[in-house]
Amino acid sequence: MTLRAGATWQVHVGSEQTTVAWDPPDDQTAGRVFVCAHGAGGQMNDRSILAVTRALRERGIGSVRFNFLYRERRSGRPDPMPKLLACYEAVVASVRAELAPGALVLGGRSMGGRAASMLVAGGGACDGLLLLAYPLHPPGQQAKLRVEHLPRITVPVLCINGTRDPFCDPALMKQTLAGLGSNWRMLWLDGADHSFHVLKSSGRTDPEVLDEVANACDTWVAGTVKSSA
């Protein structure tokens, strides 16, 4: 089918199905597509997801949003990781079939980014991985690091976290990055929390932080991510 701007469609995952939405870029000539998964407590129409994807569209990067199956069922309890991965994999297969992207970037916010990273570490093909507020560990539980699979990721990676993020201790992340390859790039948002929100005392506004995120993504995709098509 031919997908128009703002189109949604259904993707089957086993006996269930979920909703996928296509937000084309202002300039569609580059064929760059970012599949963006939501966080554990979120869904595809979260304000934070829409803000990021809108900013990326303005810079020529189309975005695909989707609900994990538990959110499609209107449940607040995330599915086990294998089921999250099955859903993400089905969405990616559908995106390839319907959009034929020139360059495909996987990722998402928090848990969604973690699921994308595990999919890619397990052999899922893409041209780049974009992790927004990667949950390195549960808040206050720095010993429970979610890093075992990260060394198996070989595609270009851009990871963006705030310095006040309780899910990502900066010192521990820097230690983790030291053991990873040169394909990893880290961007720290000074004073931002897990939602990329900054305090008024920081001297910056949330829209300014969002611009920093979008500009960094645009530069990274244009200079680092190469199409495998």
18 DSSP β-pair partners: 11
Q: Is residue 155, in this structure, part of any structural domain at all?
A: yes
User: What 3-state DSSP class applies to 190?
Assistant: coil
pLDDT for the residue 4: 67
CATH number of residue 87's parent domain: 3.40.50.1820
Q: Is residue 150, in this structure, part of any structural domain at all?
A: yes
- In degrees and rounded to multiples of 5, residue 139 shows phi and psi of -55, 130
Give the number of other CB atoms < 10 A from CB of residue 139.
12
pLDDT for the residue 1: 44
- In degrees and rounded to multiples of 5, residue 217 shows phi and psi of -65, -45
Q: Is residue 158, in this structure, part of any structural domain at all?
A: yes
Strands of 8-13's sheet in order across:
8-13, 16-23, 61-66, 32-37, 103-109, 128-132, 157-162, 184-189
> How many domains would you assign to the chain?
1
pLDDT for the residue 5: 65
What is the value of pTM for the model shown? Answer: 0.95
pLDDT for the residue 129: 98
Q: Is residue 97, in this structure, part of any structural domain at all?
A: yes
pLDDT for the residue 26: 78
pLDDT for the residue 226: 76
Which domain, by its residues, includes 18? 8-223
Cα–Cα distance, 34 to 104 (Å, whole number): 6
For the CA atoms of 90, 93, 95, 98, what is the dihedral angle to 10 degrees? -120
Q: Is residue 228, in this structure, part of any structural domain at all?
A: no
Q: Is residue 1, in this structure, part of any structural domain at all?
A: no
pLDDT tens string for the chain (229 positions)?
A: 456 667 899 999 999 999 999 999 877 666 899 999 999 999 999 998 999 999 999 999 999 999 999 999 999 999 999 999 999 999 999 999 999 999 999 999 999 999 999 999 999 999 999 999 999 999 999 999 999 999 999 999 999 999 999 999 999 999 999 999 999 999 999 999 999 999 999 999 999 999 999 999 999 998 888 766 5
pLDDT for the residue 150: 97
Q: Is residue 229, in this structure, part of any structural domain at all?
A: no
Cα of first residue to Cα of last residue in the chain, in angstroms, is 20
pLDDT for the residue 7: 86
Please state at what angle helix 81-99 crosses helix 111-121, rounded to 10 degrees.
80
